[in-house]
A and B are shown apart, each in its own frame.
Chain A
Amino acid sequence: MKKIIFFSLMLTFVMGAAAQDAEKNLKKLPAVNVKTLDGKVFNTADLNNDGKPMIVSFWALWCKPCINELTTIADVYQDWVEETGVKLVAVSIDDARSTSKVGPTVNGKGWDYEVLLDANGDFKRAMNVNMIPHTFLVNGNGEIVWQHTSFSEGSELQLIEMVRKLNRGESVESH
């Protein structure tokens, strides 16, 4: 059993590597249905920022470091938008218990992010998010170029530096 699992995992990895080598393709945002704050169904493949970079951050009301990350960025967000044109999409993975609190909380905190509700976790699973906060950087072509989990004070400086690099057309290494 163990051997079979190991072999199959290896096979899958090789397949994946082969596929990626052939195309040098970066993963794009998957097509999954989530909801907007006013209850509309929204396909995540439609997320875009008119050719500018986008930050996609998974969070929840019960997650302290997530709130810290979004609160910290909120203080500098207007400057970021003016300087780089970046957009932050905050994807809440709160479940039915608190989805209806997300809108009032986001508004109450004065956050200007685009907020999506992923109550069934479909987007989370498609993006392989395990621990939150988990933040992705998407380039102007909609390709995921960088990702990071956890948040500590100052991490936002690295994030905006990556955005600037993307805008300058430089490549961002994956870490």
Chain B
Amino acid sequence: MKTTSLTMFAAALLLLAAPVVRAQNFLEGGRVSGNFQLDAQVYRADSAIGAFEVAEKMRMNSFANLLYTNGNFSAGLRAESYLNPILGYDPRYKGNGVPYWFGSWRNEQFEITVGNFYEQFGSGMVLRSYEERNLGYDNALKGAKVRFSPTEGVVLKGLIGTQRYFWEQGPGIVRGLDGEFALNDIFDKEAKYMTRVTLGGSFVSKYQDTEEISAGPDELLVLPANVASWAARFNISRGGFAIDGEYANKMNDPSAMNDYIYKNGESLLLQTSYSTRGLGVIVSAKRTDNMSYKSKRTETGSALDINYLPALTRQHAYALSAMYPYATQPNGEMALQGQVNYKIKRGSKIGGKYGTDIAINYSRITSIQRDPLDGDTVPGGAGTAGYTSPFNVFGDELYFRDFNIEIQRKFTADFKLLVSYVNLKYNIDVIEGHPGDPMVNAHIFIADGTYRLTDKRAVKLEYQHLLTKQDEGDWLQFLIEYTVAPKWYFTVADQYNYGNPDKDRRFHYPAVSAGYTYGSSRLTLTYGKQREGILCVGGVCRNVPASNGLTITLTSSF
């Protein structure tokens, strides 16, 4: 690991330093910018809530990005350090290094990148490399990428690489081609047509050497070394209407994720929306069947994903409504979602002086129907074609359902209030893998009011209440926040599991927090207890263990 990161670092340095050596003129137009973040957690053992003794007492994650740009050229690197990684991060992150560097050149038509990069084809159903540092996710590709736009309205992309696997690279080679054609920009130069049409297609394939995987006591599987996938997409819009969709298909890809079956995978995403000033409506539907796609066939965790299967659920922002977040089931799901945003006009009788925002959202996700195959000795077992599945039939098992409504209104220049109700059904057995646990049915009530004391000082009061008979029972959360814009905030909060069926586990999770922002630098301190649970940022989630102690976060951008 050490030598590879050193080599990469040297290469990155060369990229950065080469212009200095070669040409003073080149340097003069250049600029360095960057950002960094440091997270530290000091742990106290608290056996009651399940926070165990941490030998180091304090753990720290940090990273810094440096970016050099000069005209059409840019280069960058990211140094990372996890010593030892904060609890909840994959322990395989332990270490120091420069896992990300790139050099890139572009003009009107071309963009060429070497090194590490992030890329997405269409909605990402066959390819998406991305990072969410705050959750420890990074499947950056390392290799080369070319983007070519021969004429307006046409974008062609090609790439090859391997994926980041903590401090190493995954074993599979990922190769991809993508084309997108905005028909109006190509053929309709005078913009005569009101309807805009964009078409696109992708081809992605992975190569991984075969290895010996046994299907039974004396049967070895014949594994495909190359797995191809493709996707086609469209987007049509006219005025306030839009409809878009993408279909993806993946050839047989026996892996630990699908129990080594040889069935092809497919996924279809359809979305249609209508919006006009003050009203937005969107309806989405998705079907996924056997679409886990990783660049290592034995990987079962969240690493080395080649593709991205978006969950069609709302990403909740309040602690208790985000307590039971849905995670996409790559092996199969049927999903439906609808959302309406409506603004009752300012100055109207019902809308009030400043208007009232209403948002209603519904989503429902079930299994797909799976019919056993005739002839297979072990239906659904390793080495077989697995099962058949009718495309348009919903399965019997409910995975997730969410109905929520949110109303926000500014009553006076100084006071605004948000109220929300959420009803969730959460299949804890399927989503978290807790066999036998009953479906969680939760009602969540939220009220969030902000009162401006002066121009720059405000107090916010938040009340959240989660009622459920399953899992850990009822929860209550209060939060009070005092802010002095634009620099300071102070928060006191308590989460109380008062309804836990086990009376000895009715814990409080109090926490105090303060933050100071100076331009683009920010320091936050939090002291208190954190419950075990799922932390989500941008719809990507990870489990965090219970903890008791101090958390420090320092970020800056320059």
Find the A residue at minimum CB distance from B536: A62
Q: Which residues of B contact A120 (CB under 8 A)?
A: 118-120, 130
For chain A, residues 24 to 61, give those with C-beta under 8 angstroms from any C-beta of chain B. Answer: 25, 27, 30-31, 33, 38-41, 60-61
Q: How far is the CB of B470 from chain A (nearest CB, A)?
A: 26
A152 within 8 A of B: yes
Q: Which of A30, A104, A158 has the most CB of B within 10 A?
A: A104
- CB <8 Å contact, B520 and A153: no
Q: A9-B64, A153-B450 are in contact. Are A40 and B96 (CB under 8 A)?
A: no
A175 within 8 A of B: yes
B458 within 8 A of A: yes
B452 within 8 A of A: yes
A8 within 8 A of B: yes
Q: Which residues of A contact B96 (CB under 8 A)?
A: 1-2, 5
The CA-CA distance from A129 to B33 in the complex, in Å, is: 11
- CB <8 Å contact, A107 and B280: yes
Q: Which residues of A contact B6 (CB under 8 A)?
A: 1, 4
Q: Which residues of B contact A39 (CB under 8 A)?
A: 182, 196, 198, 235, 237
B455 within 8 A of A: yes
B69 within 8 A of A: yes
- CB <8 Å contact, B342 and A15: no
B20 within 8 A of A: yes
Q: How large is the interface on A (under 10, 10 to 19, 20 to 34, 35 or more residues)?
A: 35 or more
B408 within 8 A of A: yes
Q: Which residues of B contact A2 (CB under 8 A)?
A: 96
- CB <8 Å contact, B32 and A15: yes
14 A–B contacts, CB within 8 A, in A order? A4-B9, A15-B32, A15-B68, A19-B31, A27-B33, A96-B310, A100-B271, A104-B280, A107-B277, A108-B341, A110-B278, A129-B35, A153-B485, A157-B455
Q: Which residues of B contact A157 (CB under 8 A)?
A: 455-456, 485
The CA-CA distance from A147 to B312 in the complex, in Å, is: 33
Find the B residue at minimum CB distance from A17: B32
Q: How far is the CB of B455 from chain A (nearest CB, A)?
A: 5
A95 within 8 A of B: yes
B112 within 8 A of A: no
For chain B, residues 1 to 49, give those with C-beta under 8 angstroms from any C-beta of chain A. Answer: 2, 5-6, 9, 13, 16-17, 20, 27-35, 37
The CA-CA distance from A158 to B342 in the complex, in Å, is: 30
- Stretch of B215-223, B296-304, B354-362 with 4 or more beta carbons under 8 angstroms from chain A: B354-362
Q: A13-B32, A96-B123, A153-B483 are in contact. Are A130 and B557 (CB under 8 A)?
A: yes
Which residue of the partner chain, among B149, B282, B341, B557, contacts A100 with CB atoms under 8 Å?
B282
The CA-CA distance from A14 to B5 in the complex, in Å, is: 23
- CB <8 Å contact, A75 and B354: yes
- CB <8 Å contact, A154 and B341: no
Which residue of the partner chain, among B13, B119, B273, contacts A104 with CB atoms under 8 Å?
B273
Q: A8-B9, A61-B315, A96-B128 are in contact. Are A175 and B518 (CB under 8 A)?
A: yes
**How many residues of chain B get a CB closer than 8 Å to chain A's CBs?**
111
The CA-CA distance from A68 to B74 in the complex, in Å, is: 34
- A contacts, CB < 8 Å to B: 1-2, 4-5, 8-9, 11-13, 15-16, 18-20, 22-23, 25, 27, 30-31, 33, 38-41, 60-64, 67, 71, 75, 93-98, 100-101, 103-110, 119-122, 125-126, 128-131, 134, 146-150, 152-155, 157-158, 174-175
- CB <8 Å contact, A128 and B273: no
- CB <8 Å contact, A104 and B237: no
B232 within 8 A of A: no
Q: How far is the CB of A109 from chain B (nearest CB, A)?
A: 6
Q: A100-B273, A148-B486, A155-B485 are in contact. Are A107 and B457 (CB under 8 A)?
A: no
Q: Which residues of B contact A30 (CB under 8 A)?
A: 69, 74
B284 within 8 A of A: yes
Find the B residue at minimum CB distance from A23: B28
The CA-CA distance from A25 to B33 in the complex, in Å, is: 12
- CB <8 Å contact, B308 and A96: yes
Since A149-B517, A153-B483 are in contact, a sample of 5 more A-B pairs with Cβ atoms closer than 8 Å, ordered by chain A residue number, is A20-B31, A23-B28, A100-B284, A129-B557, A153-B456
Q: A75-B410, A131-B522 are in contact. Are A108 and B538 (CB under 8 A)?
A: no
Find the A residue at minimum CB distance from B149: A41
The CA-CA distance from A40 to B196 in the complex, in Å, is: 9
The CA-CA distance from A158 to B284 in the complex, in Å, is: 40
Which residue of the partner chain, among B123, B131, B276, B282, contacts A101 with CB atoms under 8 Å?
B282
